[in-house]
Structure 1
Amino acid sequence: MTNCRMADMRNKEVISIKDGTRLGAVNDIEIELKTARISAIIIYGRLKWLGLLGREDDIVIRWEDIQIIGEETVLVDFSVPFRPKKRFGSSWFHT
């Protein structure tokens, strides 16, 4: 595949080649206006508690970090920084 439309990129699964983690699906792209080139793909952050508490941060993957764009997946040289999950109410109850 030598050319690809945004419609073709949308919803492709993004997988990290560093640890095999499924990062999500391509939701958007970022374009550098001076050169009219794609500078990054964006995966929207997951909803927190059905969206009532907002979203996690979006994942922005630089174009240089994309290794392979396949028919259904995009392989990237990227890993999400570890952030411990906060539990609901954990700050209210100390042991």
Structure 2
Amino acid sequence: MRLSEMSGKEIVDLKRGERLGVLGHADFEIDENTGMIRSVLIPSMKWFGFRKQGEEVTIQWENIKKIGTDMIIIDFEDKE
């Protein structure tokens, strides 16, 4: 899958059933030594980016469970 094909997919938290953002608004953290993706950084926005709520959410690459045609399903521990 190409990065351009991932853009626009919604990121959904498996445990909470919550929409965390859209991948087009996210950044990737890449390991400079291996070129592998370490994590996805998603800005914490409220509904379609109208109001910024705070800091970004970091999703480790190993927490991504499924990349589908419309969304990316993740399962991660919230550190609240």
Runs of 4+ in 1 over 2 A off after TM superposition: 78-82
TM-score of the aligned structures, taking structure 2 as reference length: 0.77
Q: Which has the higher contact order (CA 8 A, sep 6+)?
A: 2
Q: Which residue of 2 is the match for residue 24 of structure 1?
A: 21
- Superposition deviation, residue 39 in structure 1: 0.8
Letter in 2 for 1:6: L
Structure ranking higher in strand proportion: 2
| Alignment correspondent of 2:36 | 37
Distance 1:67 1:40 in 2: 13
Aligned residues: 75
2:70 partner amino acid: E
Identity %: 31
TM-score in terms of structure 1 length: 0.67
Unmatched runs of 5 consecutive residues or more in structure 1: 83-95
CA contact (8 A) 1:18 1:79 kept: no
Report which of the two structures shows the higher radius of gyration computed on alpha carbons.
1
